[in-house]
Chains A and B, each alone.
Chain A
Amino acid sequence: MLDEMQRDLLKEYVNVFIGQAASMLSEMANQRVLLTVPEVDIINMSDDTMDLARPLFNHGHIISSSMKFGNDFSGRALLIFPAQKAKLLVDACMGMEMSDYAEESYELIDTDFDVLKEISNVILNSVIGEFSNLIGTTVEFSIPDIEVLFVSQDEQKMYLKNDVYMMMLYTSFELAEAQVEGVIIVALGLTSLNKLLDKISEEIGDAL
């Protein structure tokens, strides 16, 4: 859906947006948190031949937080982590010593979900807030809802099926002692997507 140039520019924007979230998370975690988005993509979910550039998550439990945002630029933003890795982020933010959690032996408790809620709140706020700035509109939104789901590899597409266009931002969290891979998904309607693509094309036009 994106040509090379659009993809590059989008990637550049997203990395700037996420950088702000990173500095807020660093403050929260009392340690340097680096966030990078090495890969972005926009996919059309109604296209059955569509393949995800990479699997969103391994077979197993995931933490998914999502929030709707609205106005001129509207859609749904999601942040997804493997549940096992989510615990590393929580521990880092609570200043706890990190330990390697064996497969399926992690336990998330309610306070962990609160921390994850705040983490996704910070990240999604930055990304969506900055996208709306880019398009030149204001978007209001509340706090994301967080849930833990069991999703198998085959169900990944189904999980996303409700929305049409998906902007996939494959995100890597680098903490002092761990690396956590997650994905930010921004589901957009056609109107909002066009607004974004127009803006990006416009910026490219200006640059050329």
Chain B
Amino acid sequence: MNNFFYDVMDKLNVGIILLDSNSKIVYWNRWMIQKTDLKMETVFNCPIEEVAPKFLRPKYQKILQSVRETGHGRFLAGAVHGSFFVDIENDQSTIIQQNLQIERSLNGYVLIQVEDYTGYYQKVQKMKTFITQLEKENDQIKINEENSRKMAMQDVLTGLPNRLFLMNQLRNKLENAVLEDEKERVAIFFIDLDNLKAVNDSHGHRSGDAILMEMAKRLKHAIRGRDTVARLSGDEFIIVMEGLLDNKDIKRLAGHILDQFIEPFNVDGIEHEVTCSMGISVFPDDGKEVEELLDKADQALYSIKHSGKAGFAFYNRSLEE
């Protein structure tokens, strides 16, 4: 019967260790021999901590003692405790994963079962690394998408919102203004530089571009946080200002925008006197639709351009006649 018993033990696919009441090894199955390359004769009567030094730690001494005294089995997860026994099948760099199941047997003997998850654990680690990599790539894709989205909405030269962005935003703003049904008015300033063509012709497009960039900076400086300035095309800019009460308010702000052009534009040491003209339409007085309001601001701009430039004009119905 004894032979049968040992044969069965040796055929088990888990490590079996039997400790006597003094924690000395009295049995060690073939699985353990193969894992550790330590023969039964070598470990027989050896204190467990000589073979597995981790058991010297008070924490594990206490666990062994507690199992022996109470008979309450204890499971030690390799994921938490690491490995207890040297594993000759894997090199030092491998993270060895062993689960231990410690139970009391008869006569104060303690049975330890050792399960090895090393191969599995490595696969899990690889998978985790792979997932992290995928997450990183995904983040990068998101960043790129965000950049492309911004680029689609942004004017490359000045960094200001472009026509697409402006139309979307203006539509939202007007919808909100309608929904909130306040007495709030929204003013659209259609701005056009008066003499950029002359700068381009005499000093080249680089100077013209520098002026546009500087102009974007000045316009941004002139508006409030909730207002929008966008570059429509060429030397055309739009400013949208909301929360305005009456024309007096709007005139004051228009004057403030024109003030931004008093100072000449300095490009490479050459000072350029640049002025601008501005047509203004007002929501809801002049219309409720984005296209309509832009169109009317454009008509007002056209009128001021023809009456001598460097100033602003409100849209009024006579312009359509």
Q: Which residues of A contact B (CB under 8 A)?
A: 27-28, 90, 93-94, 109-112, 114-115, 117-118, 121-122, 125, 128-129, 138-144
Contact = CB atoms under 8 A, between A and B. Distances in A.
Contacts of B73: 121, 125, 141-143
Among B73, B77, B117, max chain A CB count under 10 A is at: B77
A94 B74 contact: no
24 contacts: A28-B80, A90-B79, A93-B80, A111-B117, A111-B121, A111-B124, A114-B77, A114-B79, A114-B117, A115-B77, A115-B80, A117-B75, A118-B77, A121-B75, A128-B72, A129-B72, A138-B71, A140-B72, A141-B71, A141-B72, A142-B103, A143-B75, A143-B101, A143-B103
A115 B121 CA distance: 13
Contacts of B59: 27
Contact of B74 (A110, A125, A139): A125
A115 B97 CA distance: 12
A184 B59 CA distance: 25
Contacts of B76: 118
Contacts of A90: 79
Contacts of A117: 75, 77
B5 interface: no
A111 B96 CA distance: 12
A110 B104 contact: no
B75 A118 contact: yes
Given A110-B117, A141-B72, 7 more contacts: A93-B80, A110-B124, A111-B117, A111-B124, A128-B72, A138-B70, A138-B71
B120 interface: yes
Contacts of A128: 72
Contacts of A110: 117, 120, 124
B7 to A, nearest CB: 24
Given A28-B80, A142-B103, A111 B97 contact: yes
A139 B73 CA distance: 11
A112 B70 CA distance: 27
A129 B73 CA distance: 11
Contact of B99 (A28, A114, A125, A144): A114
A50 B117 CA distance: 44
Nearest to A117: B75
A111 B120 CA distance: 9
Contacts of B80: 28, 93-94, 115, 118
B15 interface: no
B279 interface: no
Contact of A94 (B79, B101, B121): B79
A129 B70 contact: yes
A118 B76 CA distance: 6
Interface string B54-80: 000001000000000011111111111
Nearest to B125: A111
A187 B101 CA distance: 24
A94 B75 CA distance: 15
Interface in B41-95: 59, 70-80
A153 B80 CA distance: 33
Interface in B93-138: 97, 99, 101, 103-104, 117, 120-121, 124
A115 B99 CA distance: 10
A109 B124 contact: yes
A20 to B, nearest CB: 11
A90 B79 CA distance: 9
A118 B75 CA distance: 5
A123 to B, nearest CB: 12
B132 to A, nearest CB: 13
A62 to B, nearest CB: 20
A112 B79 contact: yes
Contact of A114 (B70, B78, B103): B78
Contacts of B120: 110
Contacts of B124: 109-111
B206 to A, nearest CB: 51
A121 B63 CA distance: 12
Contacts of B72: 125, 128-129, 139-141
Nearest to A133: B70
Contacts of A144: 75
Among A94, A142, A144, max chain B CB count under 10 A is at: A142
Among A118, A125, A128, max chain B CB count under 10 A is at: A118
Contact of B71 (A94, A118, A122, A140): A140
Contacts of B71: 138-141
